């Protein structure tokens, strides 16, 4: 087991990464002696619920709440229902919520913890690779509006994160790959050694070798924790984490969040943004080729259909854009990234068309 | 105009109290140069909207959003609708929300600002006395669940508070009186001079003499700001602000939030809690008589019907009670208050029966 620490202006908490971590949760000091509530999905609970429950003593058994799978349930209506269930079950300010599932469970569960009685403590126990390397660290929580993803939310850090490598053994293949795209992103924007590791070890990583996965997860979380420590509220450096996200979010919106997994949309977004980086020469042709090949090594990237106009409009509504400017993240070589404020519609259009030509058939 | 400052561990903002303040809002540094959105009620807007708009220059006119009057609209469904309207109107992270109305507008508007794009700046422009002296200061924001008031919320401080005494001239009589009960509470628990002022000047205060109202508002806000500065998150001292609130909230819940205004329910709750204080001798008979007479001087207290069992059950669900203890706030003389952790069902029952005997006819 490895332990990293997330330290920000407002929070300081451990992230545990390793095998057989579910068994350790009840002994954690954030849990001991408190009334615990678990928010999970029926699918995860069927696979791993017994393991989690077995670790709790008989008189400390948690109350389990369920959120159905799917992005369409990441809405305020579910917050209303779940908060009512918490209230009915007697949850109070000293209760603890355990968000046990993928990114949607983590985002919505964190927001539920942020707003129930104006904030209760919670743990992140992410069960997808994407959630382990990305959304469980950094304190961003939230739900979607019909008009956009994560438009409602809070900053609310967990008391601890448990990234159990074992639970990844039951992760569907395409979800594993989708999570690995975020780790590649971590390498591209800030950790050249991680990028090289993923470039050279795709076979053992995709075969779910525990040591290889742990290596990737530790490096990915270390990168993100380092960025969040410097810029908790995304006023500067944290924006580089959005590499691939402007167009990735646009793809998700244009396809109704149904066709692609988040990580897959981000992978397409990274490839498209790479074309702008190449044209602006923030990456050289060899670097662009290595980035593209490494992303594709963790493919396939599923096909999707959208029009340039749809994607451009959706990119314009991205909440990362301030009024009047179009902000965009570009890789700068491998292991670094920059924020440009002057990306034009023409540049985006060109990158979007390049991407859509490939997206019809998938990569 | 008087200016007070709220200083907490996480915030530092001014509270302006005086006449003709609406006109000054657009010139405030938190507003200048930003896209502004006003959240208000149709009733307040009809009375005071022109005054607010007239102060904004032609090219700085705010976008106006409406929340219907009534506690039943203080729900997540309205957050969903209003956030969607903000998104459709192009509100971004640099936009400013102006919560212009009573306590419901302030609580819900503050929460909307807290969660829209994970938090945008906002101003409190309270238009009821209750909101001016109580809810607009302290950073508590939130909405109700069917199972309880304010069970969903955040701490999110405004950038500034504008308590305009002029707008109180159109406040319905019973709402003025309801707000004054919170000021009496402020005097009882922490400011003997304010209590005496209200004891001796009920005529000019109820006649809405601007200077008298300003005196009461300044003293009430100063009291609350002082408490919040010491204990932002209600882990200790801030709990004394809940004098009258355990039973007050229980009355509101038992009567479906329809029969009494919040301040009226709190006044009943203060009278009932006073009986426990008298029995425990934390106030003497003369002090109890002065407190009761001063509360009644700002009456009438409207009648209501409930059963002791209803109120006791509702008091038990109050979120201020930690598991296993029944916490209760008692005045200690006049100008001081204490938190007791061991209030018994028998004591509450006795106080509740005393109150219900009077509540059938009102006071």
Whether A118 sits among the annotated catalytic residues: the reply is: yes
For residue A323, pLDDT over 80 is answered with: no
d(CA A163, CA A93): 26
Q: Do A142 and B80 touch (CB under 8 A)?
A: no
**A209: Cβ contacts below 8 Å, ≥ 6 apart:** none
E strand map for chain B:
2-7, 12-18, 36-40, 63-66, 96-101, 121-126, 140-145, 148-155, 160-164, 328-331, 337-340
Its ipTM equals 0.90
- Give the pLDDT of residue B125: 98
Q: Do A92 and B145 touch (CB under 8 A)?
A: no
Closest C-alpha to B11, from A322, A10, A235, A237: A10
- Give the pLDDT of residue B235: 77
**B123: Cβ contacts below 8 Å, ≥ 6 apart:** B25, B28, B30, B31, B96, B97, B98, B99, B158, B159, B160, B161, B162
Whether B140 sits among the annotated catalytic residues: the reply is: yes
pTM: 0.91
Contact A271, A176 (CB under 8 A): no
* List of chain B residues whose C-beta atoms are within 8 Å of the C-beta of residue A112: none
- The residue-averaged pLDDT of B332-355 equals 94
- Give the pLDDT of residue A322: 52
Q: Do B93 and A140 touch (CB under 8 A)?
A: no
Closest C-alpha to A355, from A264, A260, A270: A270
d(CA B267, CA B262): 9
* List of chain B residues whose C-beta atoms are within 8 Å of the C-beta of residue A77: 76-77, 80
Cis bond leading into A300, ω under 30°?
Answer: yes
For residue A32, pLDDT over 60 is answered with: yes
Average pLDDT of chain A is 93
- Facing residue for B319 by CB, picked from A117, A145, A152: A117
3-state secondary structure of B226: helix
How far is C-alpha A82 from the geometric centre of its chain's CA atoms?
Answer: 22
On the CB side of B327, CA atoms within 13 Å amount to 17
pLDDT more than 70, % of chain B: 98
What count of residues does chain A have? 363
- Give the pLDDT of residue A241: 92
With bands split at pLDDT 50, 70 and 90, how would you rate the model's confidence at A325? low
CA angle B49, B50, B51 (to 5 degrees): 90
**B324: Cβ contacts below 8 Å, ≥ 6 apart:** none
Q: Is A172 exposed, middle or buried (0-12, 13-18, 19+ CB in 10 A)?
A: exposed
Alpha-carbon dihedral angle through residues A244, A245, A248, A254, given to the nearest 10 degrees: -150
CATH no. of B173-361 = 1.20.1090.10
Size of interface A-B (CB pairs under 8 A): 101
Cis bond leading into B300, ω under 30°?
Answer: yes
Q: Which CATH class is domain B2-170?
A: alpha beta
- Facing residue for A147 by CB, picked from B84, B94, B147: B84
Distance from CA of A358 to the nearest CA of B (A): 32
d(CA A238, CA B286): 62
For residue A324, pLDDT over 70 is answered with: no
For testing contact with chain A, the best of B84, B115, B142, B150 (most A CBs within 10 A): B115
Contact B318, B325 (CB under 8 A): no
Average pLDDT of chain B is 94
Nearest CA in chain B to A323: B92
Helices (H) then strands (E): counts for chain B: 13, 11
Q: Do B116 and A155 touch (CB under 8 A)?
A: no
- The residue-averaged pLDDT of A215-240 equals 90
pLDDT, tens digit, 9 for 90 and up, residues A241-296: 999 999 999 999 899 888 899 999 999 999 999 999 999 999 999 999 999 999 99
d(CA B263, CA B245): 9
- Give the pLDDT of residue B361: 86
E strand map for B106-227:
121-126, 140-145, 148-155, 160-164
- Looking at the DSSP assignment, which residues form a beta bridge with residue B117? none
pLDDT, tens digit, 9 for 90 and up, residues A141-184: 999 999 888 999 999 999 999 999 999 999 999 999 999 999 99
- Give the pLDDT of residue B330: 97
Nearest CA in chain A to B235: A93
Name the residue ranges covered by the structural domains of chain B.
Answer: 2-170, 173-361
3-state secondary structure of B328: strand
């Amino acid at each position: 087991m490895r332990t990293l620490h997330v330290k920000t202006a407002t929070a300081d908490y451990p992230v545990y990464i390793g095998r057989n971590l579910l068994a350790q949760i009840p002994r954690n000091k954030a849990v001991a002696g408190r009334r615990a509530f678990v928010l999970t999905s029926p699918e995860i609970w069927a696979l791993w619920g017994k393991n989690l429950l077995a670790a709790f003593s008989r008189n400390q058994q948690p109350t389990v709440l369920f959120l159905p799978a799917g992005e369409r349930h990441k809405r305020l209506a579910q917050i209303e229902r779940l908060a009512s269930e918490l209230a009915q079950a007697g949850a109070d300010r000293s209760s603890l919520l355990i968000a046990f599932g993928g990114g949607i469970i983590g985002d919505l569960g964190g927001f539920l913890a942020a707003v129930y009685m104006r904030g209760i403590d919670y743990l992140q126990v992410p069960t997808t690779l994407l959630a382990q390397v990305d959304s469980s660290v950094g304190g961003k929580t939230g739900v979607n509006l019909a008009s956009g993803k994560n438009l409602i939310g809070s900053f609310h850090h967990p008391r601890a994160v448990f990234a159990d490598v074992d639970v990844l053994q039951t992760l569907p293949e395409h979800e594993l790959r989708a999570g690995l795209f975020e780790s590649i992103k971590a390498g591209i924007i800030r950790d050249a050694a991680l990028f090289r590791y993923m470039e050279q070890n795709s076979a053992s990583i995709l075969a779910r070798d525990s040591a290889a996965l742990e290596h990737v997860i530790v490096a990915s979380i270390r990168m993100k924790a380092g960025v969040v420590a410097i810029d908790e509220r995304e006023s500067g450096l944290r924006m580089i984490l959005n590499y691939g996200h402007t167009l990735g979010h646009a793809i998700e919106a244009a396809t109704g969040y149904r066709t692609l997994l988040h990580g897959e949309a981000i992978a397409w977004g990274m490839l498209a943004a790479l074309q702008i980086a190449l044209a602006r020469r923030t990456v050289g042709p060899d670097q662009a080729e290595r980035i593209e090949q490494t992303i594709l090594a963790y493919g396939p990237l599923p096909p999707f259909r959208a029009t340039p106009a749809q994607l451009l409009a959706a990119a314009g509504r991205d909440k990362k854009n301030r009024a009047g400017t179009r902000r965009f993240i570009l890789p700068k070589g491998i292991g670094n990234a920059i924020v440009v404020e002057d990306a034009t519609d023409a540049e985006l259009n060109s990158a979007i068309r390049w991407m859509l030509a490939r997206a019809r058939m998938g990569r």
